[in-house]
């Protein structure tokens, strides 16, 4: 018979680390679960919630994966990734973006999430503060928290394209600040920093001796909105910038869990040591498959998909504005619209969570409340993902029109 204090011992043994308390649930997944339950019950739910392309990897990429399996190329790779893949990514920066990025600075990771974890593990110490815009992708701040850092979210509205600026640094940088994490284009807003914004922000961080991590997973899905200014990478503004990228969005490989970092050359040994211990290597089959992403055939497919996302955006934003949603900045990348609901003639227009559930139950359209993305007026905002097919987006707008 167990001793009477056995339950207390078990409770102490399984006591969760204190840092976990600072990490909130990913609420978008609650909406996804509710939508899935309605779908199982036979209702026709249109998903505009999850940021996952409706496109999957092209046949040429799938064939490369199968060829790797059949040839037995499934064992561990170097922790930094296949040399051929690092070379291919370097070539993509040169050909697509006009940038000279040494392949030795490229680290292949198990998705962009693993890249951000490695970057934070390398740079964030206990008590360090890291500035981010508000709103921003929630997991980015939780990566900082996981290593004992403190994410500091700076309210960033339409006037700054929802991006962190050099002026924000002036007002919020202090002796505990270690660096910044920004995303361009951004989730949830779809807005990118202009070249002038990027240059000023990165120069400000550099002048203060801090690090800059730029999440560029939607960089490939940029829409050339600004006449005379072609989208580019933050790497254009210095070799001391750390960028994170992914095969999930532009390359349509979400479940393959493959991404990459570009880091200053001096940081490569540190990141390699961490990768060896935390991940061993990124998925080998996915790496071999990703080599096919850079063939002319595949790039042609990806560029066609990018233009299709732009077509969806150019339909959805005016349609939402016509229904009373406020979208003050036209998205110029990714596949999201961050919309203000406060002017809608709906009883839940003051509470994005209640409004999101009403839209799901009454219009059978799944969207995401603003609560996930920060603390600057989240109850006024919802996020639409236009990663759904064009025809389904049209149907969703019709349903919203009836609801409103």
Q: Which of 239, 265, 294 is the last residue of a domain?
A: 294
* pLDDT on residue 32: 83
- The structural domain count of the chain equals 2
What residue has token string 């996020």?
383
Which pair of tokens denotes residue 16?
């969760």
Q: Residue 383 belongs to a domain with what CATH number?
A: 3.90.1150.10
328-347 mean pLDDT:
96
Are residues 47 and 74 part of one domain?
no
Q: Residue 118 belongs to a domain with what CATH number?
A: 3.40.640.10
Residue 8 lies in a domain: no
On the question of pLDDT at 209 being above 70, the answer is yes
The range of the structural domain enclosing residue 335 comes to 23-52+298-403
280-301 mean pLDDT:
97
Are residues 358 and 258 part of one domain?
no
In terms of Cα–Cα distance, which of 268, 217, 219, 270 is closest to 239?
A: 268
Residue 4 lies in a domain: no
Residue 12 lies in a domain: no
Are residues 96 and 31 part of one domain?
no
In terms of Cα–Cα distance, which of 299, 300, 285, 308 is closest to 62?
A: 285
Are residues 249 and 331 part of one domain?
no
Are residues 363 and 341 part of one domain?
yes
The DSSP-derived string for 162-202 is T---HHHHHHH--TTEEEEEEESS-TTT-----HHHHHHHH
- At 12-48, the pLDDT tens digits run 777 888 777 777 777 777 788 889 999 999 999 999 9
Residue 316 lies in a domain: yes
* pLDDT on residue 154: 98
Q: Which of 268, 294, 320 is the last residue of a domain?
A: 294
For residue 326, with 0-12 CB atoms within 10 Å meaning exposed, 13-18 middle and 19 or more buried, which class applies?
middle
- At 151-198, the pLDDT tens digits run 999 999 999 999 999 999 999 999 999 999 999 999 999 999 999 999
In terms of Cα–Cα distance, which of 100, 89, 94 is closest to 294?
A: 89
Residue 211 lies in a domain: yes
In terms of Cα–Cα distance, which of 114, 158, 117, 113 is closest to 134?
A: 158
Residue 1 lies in a domain: no
- At 218-242, the pLDDT tens digits run 999 999 776 667 788 999 999 999 9
* pLDDT on residue 33: 86
Residue 79 lies in a domain: yes
Are residues 225 and 269 part of one domain?
yes
286-294 mean pLDDT:
98
Are residues 311 and 223 part of one domain?
no
- At 361-379, the pLDDT tens digits run 999 999 999 998 999 999 9
Are residues 202 and 287 part of one domain?
yes
Are residues 85 and 228 part of one domain?
yes
Residue 242 lies in a domain: yes
Are residues 249 and 227 part of one domain?
yes
Q: Which of 272, 294, 316 is the last residue of a domain?
A: 294
* pLDDT on residue 1: 52
In terms of Cα–Cα distance, which of 242, 253, 271 is closest to 81?
A: 271
Which pair of tokens denotes residue 88?
């291919």
240-247 mean pLDDT:
98
What's the pTM?
0.93
Query: What value does the mean pLDDT of the chain take?
Result: 94
Are residues 43 and 95 part of one domain?
no
Share of the chain above pLDDT 70, in %: 97
Are residues 323 and 255 part of one domain?
no
């Amino acid at each position: 018979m167990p001793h009477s204090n056995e339950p207390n011992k078990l409770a102490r043994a399984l006591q969760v680390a204190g840092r976990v308390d600072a990490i909130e649930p990913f609420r978008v997944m609650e909406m996804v679960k509710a939508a899935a339950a309605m779908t199982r019950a036979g209702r026709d739910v249109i998903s505009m919630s999850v940021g996952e392309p409706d496109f999957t990897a092209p046949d040429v990429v799938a064939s490369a994966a199968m060829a790797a399996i059949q040839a037995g190329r499934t064992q561990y790779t170097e922790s930094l990734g296949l040399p051929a893949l690092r070379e291919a990514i370097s070539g993509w920066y040169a050909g697509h973006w006009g940038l000279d990025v040494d392949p030795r600075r490229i680290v292949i990771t198990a998705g962009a999430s693993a890249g951000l974890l490695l970057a934070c593990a390398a740079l964030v110490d206990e008590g360090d503060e890291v500035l981010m815009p508000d709103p921003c992708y929630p997991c980015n701040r939780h990566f900082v928290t996981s290593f004992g850092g403190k994410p500091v979210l700076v309210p960033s509205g339409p006037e700054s394209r929802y991006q962190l600026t050099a002026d924000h640094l002036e007002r919020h940088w202090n002796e505990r600040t270690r660096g910044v994490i920004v995303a361009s284009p951004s989730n949830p807003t779809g807005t990118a920093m202009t070249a002038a914004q990027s240059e000023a922000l990165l120069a400000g961080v550099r002048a203060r001796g801090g690090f800059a991590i730029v999440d560029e997973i939607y960089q490939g899905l940029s829409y050339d909105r600004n006449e005379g200014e072609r989208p580019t990478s933050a790497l254009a503004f210095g070799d001391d910038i750390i960028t994170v990228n992914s095969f999930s969005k532009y390359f349509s490989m979400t479940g393959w869990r493959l991404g990459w970092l570009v880091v200053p050359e001096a940081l490569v040994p540190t990141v390699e040591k961490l990768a060896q211990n935390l991940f061993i290597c990124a998925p080998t089959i996915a790496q071999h498959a990703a080599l096919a992403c850079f063939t002319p055939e595949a790039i042609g497919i990806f560029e066609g998909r990018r233009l299709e996302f732009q077509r969806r955006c150019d339909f959805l934003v005016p349609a939402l504005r016509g229904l009373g949603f406020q979208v003050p900045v036209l998205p110029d990348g990714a596949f999201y619209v961050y919309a203000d609901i406060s002017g809608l003639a709906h009883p839940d227009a003051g509470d994005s969570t209640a409004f999101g559930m009403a839209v799901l139950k009454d219009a059978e359209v799944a969207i995401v409340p603003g609560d996930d993305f920060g603390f600057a007026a989240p109850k006024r905002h919802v996020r639409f993902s236009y990663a759904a097919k064009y025809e389904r987006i049209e149907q969703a707008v019709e349903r919203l029109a009836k609801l409103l």
